[in-house]
Amino acid sequence: MPARPSHRPSTRIARSIALGSLATGLIVASLAGAAGANAAPGGTPGPRYAPGSEGAGDPYFPFAGNGGIDVQHYALDLDYTPPPPAPAPLEGRLAGVATIDLVATADIDRFNLDLRGLTASSVVVNGKSMAFTQGAGELVVTPRPRLKTGQSATVVVTYGGTTGRPTDIEDALYGWVTTRDGAMVVSEPDGSSTWFPVSDHPTDKATYSYEITVPEGRVAVANGLLEGSETADGRTTWRWNAPDPMAAYLATATVGDFRLEQYTAANGTPIIDAIDKSRQPAQYANLARTSDMLTFFEGLYGDYPFVSYGAIVDNDSVSYALETQTRSFFSSSAGLGTVAHELAHQWMGNQVSPGRWADIWLNEGWATYSEWMWTEHNGGQTADARFNALMSSSSQAAWNTVLADPGPFGLFGTPVYNRGAALLHALREKVGDGVFFDIAKQWVARFGGGTATTADFIALSEEVSHQDLTAFFDVWAYQPPKPTSW
Ligand code: TRP
Ligand code: ZN
């Protein structure tokens, strides 16, 4: 029988209880090892079981992701009922079964998944019910038998609850954001745990498949390719498959009153757009440039990396757009620059993801600079003019930030976008176009499918350019003031 989840009163208390018991677990494990309980014959050290850590080790979000496990695949079976008409509160009902294939990366007697605001009712590991507990933001599973390094396991979590409108640490809406006709699901940086049990850090990429059941007439839109939909008893199940490794924050399962439009772009990529039926043509007309943009960015960064692309244009708003993998999300309408920005993120941010959230400028700087380059290509302002305007503007908004360490509250601040783009333009001027676009292509080729850091970017830039760029990156990425010479 599974243990009942414990509902703890506050984050702070839950954290200290969990940390306290983590420490106890480590002591028990090491005593057992010292006593030889785990020693194998012949002197080869046997497994030394310990709990996996509660986070992936990111200083900005210490509890995001989990240690001791590496998730391979999430099969998400979601059943969702949107809120009743106004004036009922914006609360939906979500019931999920997450089938998670993972590999142990250490000898573990316990591991965590991130899960927030929803209640697990059962956890099954390799076909057997397991004990588990739930603290604030963390589902703690005790697999028996314990898992050895390299061992794979299938974990099935049955869970559910009421959905609301979660917010990130800066009070921006994110995660499973309940709307009157469904939900907007956009989870950067750590909002995926509001809708499924997850190892919620970009360093743990996985493939995804979805079966999302909603009232007949509503459409559920996820990443990748639409495999089909079936309707029975007034409910429709939408099946999606996303076979490209993906960071959890880029997963979506947006539900609404959508019209699906499918076509093939000039480069051969299948496009699936989901447009809320209330949208006027002017609110999505810029999506018609997607095919041209794909061709343009392929020229800069290499082949489009995923099985499909497309946009979701919802009638509701989270006040920003997100580069949800293969299916960018737009609040209310899709502006031309933003359409280019989110598409460029598919290479810069999605195919190569930040190794730590401190490296967010590698996402936003590249996407913003891509927007500058697209605008120039499209006959608008040149990237050089944009750079010069920024450098000569008296506004301090883009400056006084350590670009490579903007802090968890500065992740989406102006400096990360504009200073990041300006750094790339300055680098391009310094090393020349040939070398600069070689760096861009190699960045994607070398780190694609995984993550990379600012240090990786500096090392690659130096390797490809054969230049010592220490002083350049120091003034641009590590010193707060506006650079004056580099
Ligand atoms: N990554 C998004 C983009 O630039 C932006 C984003 C995500 C954001 N979460 C946010 C912006 C919260 C403001 C507030 O495309
Ligand atoms: Zn962006």
pLDDT digits (tens, 9 = 90+) for 257-306: 999 999 999 999 999 999 999 999 999 999 999 999 999 999 999 999 99
Which two three-digit tokens encode residue 230?
Answer: 């079936």
What does the radius of gyration of the chain's CA atoms come to, in whole angstroms? 23
CB 147 less than 6 A from any atom of ligand 1 = no
Residue 135 has, within 13 A of its CA and on its CB side, a CA count of 20
Which two three-digit tokens encode residue 442?
Answer: 């190699």
Cα–Cα distance measured from residue 80 to residue 93, given in angstroms and rounded to the nearest whole number = 6
199 CA to middle of ligand 2, Å? 22
319 CA to middle of ligand 1, Å? 9
166 CA to middle of ligand 2, Å? 20
pTM: 0.91
Decide if 416 contacts 406 (C-beta within 8 A).
yes
Q: What was the pLDDT predicted at 41?
A: 59
HEC letters along the chain:
CCCCCCCCCCHHHHHHHHHHHHHHHHHHHHHHHHCCCCCCHHHCCCCCCEECCCCCCCCCCCCCCCCCEEEEEEEEEEEEECCCCCCCCCCEEEEEEEEEEEEECCCEEEEEEECCCCEEEEEEECCEECEEEEECCEEEEECCCCECCCCEEEEEEEEEEEECCCECCCCCECEEEEECCEEEEECCCCCHHHCCCECCCCCCCEEEEEEEEEECCCEEEECCEEEEEEEECCEEEEEEEEEEEECHHHCCEEEECEEEEEEECCCCCEEEEEEECCCCHHHHHHHHHHHHHHHHHHHHHCCCCCCCECEEEECCCCCCCECCCCCEEEECCCCHHHHHHHHHHCCECCCEEECCHHHCHHHHHHHHHHHHHHHHHCCCCCHHHHHHHHHHCCCCCCCCCCCCCCCCCCCCCHHHHHHHHHHHHHHHHHHCHHHHHHHHHHHHHHHCCEEECHHHHHHHHHHHHCCCCHHHHHHHHHCCCCCCCC
For the sheet with 152-163, list strands across it.
128-129, 119-125, 152-163, 92-104, 69-81, 206-215, 235-246, 225-232
Residue 471 has, within 13 A of its CA and on its CB side, a CA count of 6
Find residue 452's DSSP bridge partners.
354
CB 250 less than 6 A from any atom of ligand 1 = no
Closest among 84, 366, 78, 392 to 235, alpha carbons compared: 78
CB 371 less than 6 A from any atom of ligand 1 = no
Pocket test for ligand 1, best of 60, 167, 188 (most atoms within 8 A of CB): 188
Q: What was the pLDDT predicted at 47?
A: 87
348 alpha carbon, closest ligand: 2
Cα–Cα distance measured from residue 405 to residue 388, given in angstroms and rounded to the nearest whole number = 24
Q: Which atom of ligand 1 is nearest to the CA of 338?
A: 15
CB 437 less than 6 A from any atom of ligand 1 = no
Residues 6+ apart with CB under 8 A from 208: 73, 74, 75, 76, 222, 223, 224, 241, 242, 246, 251
Residue with tokens 């590991």: 125
343-367, pLDDT tens digit by residue?
999 999 999 999 999 999 999 999 9
Q: What was the pLDDT predicted at 43?
A: 67
Which two three-digit tokens encode residue 246?
Answer: 């993906």
Residues 6+ apart with CB under 8 A from 33: 39, 48
Pocket test for ligand 1, best of 370, 412, 416, 418 (most atoms within 8 A of CB): 412
Exposure b/e, 101-126, CB count within 10 A at least 16 = b: ebebbbbbbbbbbbbbbbebeebbbe
Q: What was the pLDDT predicted at 466?
A: 98
367 CA to middle of ligand 2, Å? 6
| Identity at 18, one-letter amino acid code | A
Decide if 207 contacts 246 (C-beta within 8 A).
yes
Q: What was the pLDDT predicted at 142?
A: 98
91 CA to middle of ligand 1, Å? 24
Closest among 443, 226, 473 to 354, alpha carbons compared: 443
106 CA to middle of ligand 2, Å? 35
**Residues lower than pLDDT 50 in the chain:** 1-39
Distances (CA, A) of 181 to 191, 258, 323: 20, 10, 22
Cis, bond preceding 145 (omega within 30 deg of 0): yes
CB 190 less than 6 A from any atom of ligand 1 = no
